[in-house]
A and B are shown apart, each in its own frame.
Chain A
Amino acid sequence: MNKPSPSATDSPGAASLPTVRNLELKAVLLLLFLLSLVLGSAAYLMYARGVFEATQQLVLVAEDSEGVEVGMDLTFAGFAIGRVARIELGEDGNARILIDVPQKDARWLRRSSVFTLERGLVGAARIRAFTGVLDDPPIEDGAVRPVLRGDALSGIPEVMIAVHELLANLRALTAEDAALLASLANLQRVTETLNGPQGALALLFGSDAEARQLVERTKALLARTDALAARLDRLAANADRQIFGQPVGPAAKAGQGGLVSETRATVGELNGLLVDARSSLQRVDALLLEVHGIAGNTRAATTDLGALRNEVEATLRKVEHLINEVNRRWPFARDNEIRLP
């Protein structure tokens, strides 16, 4: 390629111009290159703007659309799934944010989806969608949903009020006549007392003399406690001897004369008595078995007696009837009839 400088082009006449091979072709290629660049860039920008996407509309209703701009994204889980197409003021005074959602991304929006409009301390506002139940029916085209505002800047006045109150309290705490300073002075006195010769006792009883007196009394009490412990030891030894019969001297036999050994002998005797009682009870059981048999026989005999009685009664009635019959037939029978005059 020839590379003539522009200075060589001072005359448009063919004689003074440098010769360029295939000039027209190269120039036309440059023109086509520029045309393709412009058309390609335009097509790419149109694609990037979502011109070729099939979309459905979503209307978000907010009390305040501050921070919302045309072209900003609607995000779901951090991914942009929609773009603000228009912002208008509704008849009810609320802002209506019209969002174009590509149909391939609309599956992430359900009827139970929640939308928020958040403004951070840095950067533009963000519109986010949250879908808890992905099994819900998909959101319909042209759906109108409220948007919840999450404004980080709105909390600043409350924070400032709280900070002012905190500073006032801090100022009151650090004032000359504040209770905190008095408390710190008292704390310093306490530490000085703790570092003194009587330590914490002086702090508890107010003065070193009382602390010293308490120490002396405590020592006396400890001496008496030692004496009491010695007496308790002797008492325990006596109790051991009485209960277990421990020997006082090394020649004595163990278990001799003690309450425990006597109790053990008594228990042995009780065991013998219990054996005797067990045999007596076995004999009583045998007797009771015999009595039970006698009672059964008696019951049977009682049943036979009833039948015998019936038979005796029947026999008696027959005898009576026989006697009556004899008396009636007997010549010496008495006349039982009473004749009336």
Chain B
Amino acid sequence: MGCDLIAFVPHLLHRLRRSVLAFAVAWLHVLMLGAKILVIACAPASYRSARQRQLILRQIYLATAPLLIWFVMLSALVSLVLIRIVVATSVSYGLSQYALEVLVRTLVLELIPLYAALFVAVRFSMPGAQHLRERLARRQPQAPRGDEQQLLQTELLPRALAGTFAVLLLAALNCVVALLLAYLVVHGFSRWGLPTYTRSVGQIFSAAVTLIFSLKTLFFSLAVAIVPLAGSAQRDADGAYPRGSDISEFARLFSVVLVIEVVSLVGNYS
């Protein structure tokens, strides 16, 4: 019994070391792939080819257009419910003057970017990454390394740009919709509340808050665009593209989004 336990400890340590190593390698791969995609995205040569531009525009359209209407409607519905709850509660407690600030801070600054990022991840990035992984898995395991550049330009860059664009567009559009709904719920169809409303919104969006909000939305979009693709384009020890788990990819994406959200909260309210 004692001998078995002593023999088990090195095995456990070995497994632990392999897990930590795989964890570090996976995250390093995510970072490296993200950096490569950014470099390629910033290079003008990536857009010289008409076929490449066509691919990028197609992915942008396919990532955004099918989601646009449904996401706007769903987000408007959720926003309307939240706005009614906050306004009614604040009025019942005699704190209606703080309702608008609470709404803008919770809906526009926090919920809508997070909601848009997760929506794009579930509806576009994760399924796209899954199909890419299946297609890459069918490739020859010992494909030449020179194909990686081709893979980045033709497969990963259009999808990454499309995911980034979709998150930015949906978040921006729904922030505007939420602000309009908040105004209509608080002031109704009257234009006399517009100066007060504009002043309140301007009071909330200070320079620091606006910067943090913009950076947070940008990093959300980058995470949604890159993290699922990184799992798809990661080779194993044999140089092949293994079929990974979607849940693990989503957990990795969710952890990144969570870290970005926590950092933004610390920046806003600490």
Task: Write the residues of chain A forming the contact surface with B, with a CB cutoff of 8 angstroms.
Answer: 1, 3-7, 9-12, 14, 17, 20, 23-24, 26-28, 30-31, 33-34, 37-38, 41, 44-45, 47-50, 70-73, 80, 83, 122-123
> A6 near B62 (CB under 8 angstroms)?
yes
Partner of A27, one of B57, B128, B173: B57
Measured between C-beta atoms, what is the minimum distance from B150 to chain A in Å?
10
Query: Can you report 10 A-B residue pairs in the complex whose CB atoms are below 8 A from each other?
Result: A9-B59, A12-B155, A20-B61, A30-B60, A30-B165, A37-B173, A45-B205, A49-B202, A49-B205, A80-B199
Give the residues from 82 to 137 in chain B that come closer than 8 angstroms, CB to CB, to chain A. Answer: 95, 97-98, 123-124, 127-128, 131-132, 134-135
Of B58, B158, B210, most buried by chain A (CB within 10 Å of CB) is: B58
Q: Find chain A residues with CB under 8 A from B202 CB.
A: 45, 47-50
Interface residues on B, range: 35 or more
- Is B64 part of the contact surface with A, judged by Cβ < 8 Å? yes
Q: Do B205 and A33 have beta carbons less than 8 Å apart?
A: no
Interface residues of B in 141-156 (CB under 8 A from A): 154-155
Q: Which residue of A lies closest to B130 (CB)?
A: A7
B265 at the interface (CB under 8 A from A): no
Q: Which residue of A lies closest to B131 (CB)?
A: A10
Interface of B is mostly: helix
**Known contacts A9-B128, A23-B57, A123-B98; is-contact A72 B62 (Cβ 8 Å):** no
Identify which of residues 39-72 in chain B touch chain A, using a CB-to-CB cut-off of 8 Å: 51, 54-55, 57-66
B158 CB, nearest partner CB in chain A, Å: 6
Contact A12 B60 (CB under 8 A): no
Q: How far, in Å, is B152 (CB) from chain A's closest CB?
A: 12
CB distance A70 to B206 under 8 Å? yes
Beta-carbon contact of A71 and B131 below 8 Å:
no
CB distance from A234 to the nearest CB of B (A): 84
Expressed in whole angstroms, the Cα–Cα distance for A34 and B12 within the complex equals 52
Q: Give CA–CA (A275, B131) in the complex, Å.
A: 149
Query: Does B212 sit within 8 A of A, measured CB to CB?
Result: no
Within the complex, the shortest CB–CB distance from B131 to chain A, in Å, comes to: 4
- Whether A23 touches B199, Cβ cut-off 8 Å, given contacts A11-B135, A12-B155, is no
Which one of A6, A14, A30, A49 has the highest number of Cβ atoms from chain B below 10 Å of its Cβ? A6
Contact indicator A30/B58 (Cβ below 8 Å): no
Name the residue of chain A whose CB is nearest to the CB of B94.
Answer: A122
Asked if A73 contacts B127 (CB within 8 A), the reply is no
Q: A6-B127, A71-B206, A122-B95 are in contact. Are A41 and B62 (CB under 8 A)?
A: no
Q: CA separation between A265 and B210, bound complex, in Å?
A: 119
B57 to chain A, nearest CB (A): 4
Contact present for B66 and A3 (CB under 8 Å) = yes
Q: Which residue of A lies closest to B203 (CB)?
A: A71
Instruction: Indicate whether A4 sits within 8 Å of B62 (C-beta atoms), given known contacts A30-B165, A48-B205.
Output: yes
- Closest Cβ neighbor of B98 among chain A residues: A123
* CB within 8 Å for A27 and B203 given contacts A6-B63, A9-B128, A34-B172: no
How many angstroms from the CA of A28 to the CA of B57 in the assembled complex? 8
Q: Is there contact, CB below 8 Å, between A41 and B172?
A: yes
Counting CB contacts under 8 A, is B245 at the interface?
no
Who on chain A is nearest to B124 by CB?
A6
With a 10 A CB-CB cut-off, give which of B62, B64, B198 has the most chain A CB atoms: B62
* Interchain CB contact (< 8 A) of B132 among A10, A31, A41, A122: A10
**In the complex, are the beta carbons of B60 and A27 less than 8 A apart?**
yes
User: A24 contacts which chain B residues (CB < 8 A)?
Assistant: 54, 57
Q: In the assembly, what is the distance between CA of A1 and CA of B58, in Å?
A: 13
